[in-house]
Amino acid sequence: MESMEKKEYAIDFGNLREQVHVFAPATVANMICGFDVLGFALDYPGDEVKMYRVAEPGVRIRAIHGDDGRLPLDADKNTVSACVKMLLEHLGIADELGVEIELTKHMPIGSGLGSSSASTVAGLFAINSLLGNPLSKEELMPFCVEGERLACGHGHADNVAPALMGGVTLIRGYDPLDIVRLPVPNELYAGVVFPQVDVPTRDARQLIKEKVWLKDAVTQWGNIAGLIAGLYEGDYALIGRSMQDVLIEPTRAILIPEFYEMKRLALEAGALSFGISGSGPSVVAIARGKEAAERAASRIQQHLTDCDIESLKYVSSVNVNGPKILN
């Protein structure tokens, strides 16, 4: 993990919360053209963590719901508890404090919606809240990135940053981590559809080429710059024509059934752009307004149904708040 500056944190042990219940949102990483550097948060779905203070020191998993038994209950192997433990060690209180975690997943694992990030962010936000918020969100971020590394073998931040900060985030740099929040035009909507096939991020990352052609890089950085200008200007047409990916999509689209037909239908239904959400297999139609996003997502889903492929659909604006406390 990126070395964290050691500093004194003010934790009032006499005044800790007994229990905290947190929601953290799903995210659309990459924003189609910005591999590993851009992402935004959704209003829903998202994961929930209930964290309870207990007398016996240590971090334990009490229960996990909604994962079909796929996630480890062993606190050293589970990403959420491992990150919470890491934070307590950083604060020098791992031997004093006891917490138990109940995780509820509301989105599929391996879906391209930042499932592991939402859980990690919810866990770290919960422990920080329980302790009276000794760390700022910026200070929590390296722990979130470490969670991503544990979950899929690579510490990209384009899911955890928007999940924690809310809104649209740019990872300007990784070493050191430099995260910039970008403006969110208020009619920007996403219609996300998850075709129910499993594509683990680890596999989807191994597939992509490490070397790219300069002409493709030029196209891509033009698109990233165009997207950012579009967000600042609230220029939806510019946002739409900039959200195109010539680097990663051609390779990853192979893993997603009916990708190009879904793209054609989404654009025909009025989406500004269409692409892969994170590492897939979820796809995202970006639209101006909820109706257009709903129309595009419904067309995509209908097509998948016609092809006998089950799917889930989420239509959401950009969630500018990030995690929230539910109790």
Q: Which residues bind ligand HSE (CB under 6 A)?
A: 29-30, 35-36, 112, 114, 156, 158-159, 201, 204-205, 278-279
Rounded CA gap, 26 and 112, in Å?
A: 9
Q: Residue 286's CB: how many other CB atoms inside 10 A?
A: 27
Cβ distance to ligand HSE smaller for residue 81 or 279:
279
From residue 212, alpha-carbon distances to 176, 220, 241, 246 in Å are: 24, 11, 21, 10
DSSP 8-state class, residue 159: T
Residue from 148, 169, 249, 258 carrying the catalytic annotation: 148
**Known catalytic residue at 219:** no
Is 101 in a helix, a strand, or coil?
strand
Q: Give the residue nearest to ligand HSE (CB).
A: 278
Residue from 169, 201, 249, 258 carrying the catalytic annotation: 201
User: Letter for the amino acid at 192?
Assistant: V
Cβ distance to ligand HSE smaller for residue 135 or 152:
152
CB of 69 to ligand HSE, least distance (A): 23
Cβ distance to ligand HSE smaller for residue 134 or 167:
167
CB of 259 to ligand HSE, least distance (A): 15
Cβ distance to ligand HSE smaller for residue 38 or 269:
38
**Known catalytic residue at 201:** yes
CB of 38 to ligand HSE, least distance (A): 9
CB of 117 to ligand HSE, least distance (A): 8
Rounded CA gap, 243 and 223, in Å?
A: 6
Cβ density class 34-61: b for 16+ within 10 Å, e for less: bbebbbbbbbebbbbbbbbeeeeeebbb
Q: Which residues are catalytic?
A: 148, 201
